[in-house]
Every structure is written in C-alpha cells, then in structure tokens.
Amino acid sequence: MPYGDWSYFMYVIPALLITIAADIYVRSVYRKYSSVRVESGMTGSDAARMVLSTHGVNDVVIDHVKGDLTDYFNPTDRIIRLSDNVYNGATVSAVGVAAHESGHAIQYSEDYLPVKIRSVITPVTKYGSMAAWPLVLLGVLFEFRPLAWIGVALFGAAVLFRMLTLPVEINASRRAIASLSGGIITEEELKGVKKVLTAAALTYVASFAATLLTFLRILSVARGSRRR
C-alpha cells in the first residue's frame, strides 16, 4: 500500500469523525435549549448589550446576520453579529450565545493576552496552512527536504492558533456566565446556558484535535521523504 494511504486512515478519518461528532452534539444541545424560553423575556441582543454595559464597553455595535450558529465578533469593525434566532430569540441558547460573543468583545477591550498573541499569528495561519501541503509535497517530490520542513512549520502555526483558541473561547464563556449570574436569569436557565457553552467549547476542542491530527499527517509525509 502506498505510504500516504496509511497516514490517511490514521489521521484524516479520525479527524473527520471527531469534527462531525462535535458538530452533531453542539447542534443537538443548541436545539434543545432553543426551545426553552427565559422567564424575563430577554433576547440575545438584550443579553449582549447587558454584558457589554456591565463591563463598560460602549463602542461595540450589535447587528444580526443570516444563518444558524453564524454568530461572531468582528474586532476590526467592533461589531457583534448574531444570527436571527439568537438576535431576536428569548431563549436559553440565544442568551448564552450572545453573552459569549460579548465576552469576546470584552477580551479585545481589555487586551486579553491570548487574543493578542492569536491576532499576531493569524496572517501566518491563514496563508501558511494553505501553502503547507503544496510545499511538503513539492519537497517530497523533488527530494528537497528543507522545502518540506518549511511546509511543516507553516502548518504548525495553525496548530498553535487552534491551541490558543481554546483558552480564548473558554474565557469568553466564563465572562458570559459571570455576567448572567446574580439573578439576571434564573438558576435553572443559567445551568442551561452552561450546557450550551460547554457544548460549543467542545467544538473548539474537536477543531484543535483535528488540526493536530492533520499536522501529524503532514509531519509523517515530510519524514517519509527522509527515508527515501
């Protein structure tokens, strides 16, 4: 069997299975708590504004975007974009997701260190991960090992990015939960928010694991060139 085939079964298929399983789980939890309304009638957009206001962040715009689970914070424009169901939804899922995105906005306002480091390596990650495989394959094809190892190093930046994403996401969720505590929502609703955000965090763990497995495959291909 060709060398690359084994690495495909060892690394790529497990990475796909991990990613798919995490996505199915987070959507299941999200759907469950999307049917649980908060007693106060607070919508996702209300929750986002409340969390920002609590931390004195007043320069962030809250807007909505089409799609499902397409919520994100754009630090360049200082805009939190919430999907329609989150922006207008008065549910446990909507409140939790919106508060989480506000947590990211607060991180940037407070110069949270992992966010600053991640921002620095983002350009390398964006273009380096795309160039990694071609460089490794060309290095192997022409038996020019330095080129292959440059590809490995570039993809290594993607692994570092995913690794830094974990504390960033966990910290944003902790900020969200802390802001929603103290009677903003009921204790039972807060438990639901924690479950939604924990499920979401698992997708980032899965993403890191998948990226790491891809890196190991690239590494195995590059090391294979040494044995040729």
Cα(31)–Cα(33) distance, integer angstroms: 6
CA 140 to chain centroid, in Å, comes to 32
Report pLDDT digits (tens) over 98-145: 999 999 999 999 999 999 999 998 888 888 888 998 999 999 888 888
Domain count, the chain: 1
Residues of the domain holding 222: 3-226
pTM (2 d.p.): 0.87
Query: What is the pLDDT at residue 8?
Result: 67
Cα(113)–Cα(120) distance, integer angstroms: 11
Catalytic residue among 101, 187, 188, 189: 101
Query: What is the pLDDT at residue 222?
Result: 87
> Average pLDDT of 63-78?
94
Task: Label the pairing between strands 72-74 and 79-83.
Answer: antiparallel
> Average pLDDT of 182-205?
94
Q: Is 188 a catalytic residue?
A: no
Please, what is the average pLDDT of the chain?
Answer: 91
Structure tokens at 125: 């990650």
CA dihedral 186, 175, 199, 63 (to 10 degrees): 90
CA 5 to chain centroid, in Å, comes to 29
> Average pLDDT of 65-86?
94
The number of CA neighbours under 13 Å toward the Cβ of 194 is 10
> Average pLDDT of 168-174?
96
Query: What is the pLDDT at residue 142?
Result: 86
